[in-house]
Amino acid sequence: MSKCLICASSTYQIEDTQIKHQHRYITYNVCEKCGFTFKDHAFHITHTEEKKQYDFHENTLENEGYVNMFKRFIADAIDPFIQQGECLDFGSGPGPVLSILLKQKGFNVTLYDPFYANDQTALNKQYDLITSTEVFEHFFTPKQTINELVNLLKPKGILAIMTSFKTMNDTAFLKWWYRRDATHVCFYTLSAFQEIEQTFQLQRLYTNHKNIIVLKKR
């Protein structure tokens, strides 16, 4: 059985008996300690298929609901903790609306996205703020990628994350709309984030217990 990708504890498997991938039912590994849940690697889609999914996203300033989501995110996860500085929007996507809103507030924003803004120089400096919205669920190697993000933060830097938390039992998880997105491969509990905080010496500043968590580098 696979070890947890966050805390290396033992996992057990659950199976989606409704959806097949290449004639096999999709399976997930669930950590017995922290509850972190990740899709078995055999069921990951290719990068080409992944990008096709992202190209359908309507991430523009004309999408009022999308813009309002980020305005709420800024109000809850950024405004109370940091008001200016160098910012990295990690996983900025095809329509970097968040970066536009942050620039309007006075942040100097750098974009990075492996599909739409793959500028490696963005990963060669440190930042006061890193935002990562609807990105953590796509990490194939979450602990490694989180380590890279922490290294990109200045001391006392802020990491503001948006990803829907797994708050339900396994039966409800298999019915959850969020995990049915083929590009979503890992799902975090607050216990999993606690493991992340301890591993990387991060301080939790805020969470709404639903889909936002703000961490500070010690």
Domain ranges for the chain: 11-217
More confident residue, 148 or 24: 148
DSSP type of residue 113: B
Residue 59, pLDDT > 90, answer no
d(CA 128, CA 152): 9
Asked if 159 and 117 touch (Cβ cutoff 8 Å), the reply is: no
Residue 53, pLDDT > 60, answer yes
DSSP type of residue 26: E
Between the CA of residue 154 and those of 32, 38, 73, 146, what are the distances in Å? 33, 29, 22, 14
Q: Residue for token digits 């996507």?
A: 93
pLDDT tens by residue, 177-189: 999 999 999 999 9
d(CA 103, CA 87): 9
Predicted confidence band of residue 162 (pLDDT cuts 50, 70, 90): very high
DSSP type of residue 10: B
pTM of the predicted protein model: 0.94
pLDDT at 66: 86
CATH placement of domain 11-217? 3.40.50.150
Average pLDDT across the chain, whole number: 93
pLDDT at 18: 74
C-alpha 138: how far from chain center: 7
The two structure tokens encoding residue 83: 């008001």
DSSP type of residue 161: E
pLDDT at 177: 95
